[in-house]
Amino acid sequence: MLVAGSLKRPELIANLVIDIVDDAHRFCFHMAAEMKRAEVEKWLAALRKKALANAKRALLPLLAREVGVCAIIAKQGDAGDLDRILASHPRLHTAEGCFYRDIFRDACAVPMHIVAPSSLDAAKVGKLSGPPWRKDQKLAALAAWKVMKA
Closest CA to 142 of 132, 110, 123: 123
pTM: 0.89
For 38-77, the DSSP string reads: HHHHHHHHHHHHHHHHHHHHHHHHHHTTT---EEEE---S
pLDDT at 12: 87
CA distances (Å), origin 5, targets 8, 19, 143, 145: 8, 26, 13, 8
Given a cut of 80, is residue 132 above it in pLDDT?
no
pLDDT (tens digit per residue) in 69-84: 999 999 999 999 999 9
Count of Cβ atoms closer than 10 Å to residue 44 Cβ? 18
The beta-strand segments (E) located in 50-143 are: 70-73, 112-115
Q: 50: buried, middle or exposed (CB in 10 Å: 19+, 13-18, 0-12)?
A: middle
Higher pLDDT, 41 or 132: 41
Average pLDDT, the chain: 92
Q: 70: buried, middle or exposed (CB in 10 Å: 19+, 13-18, 0-12)?
A: buried
**Angle at which helices 89-107 and 37-63 cross, to 10°:** 40
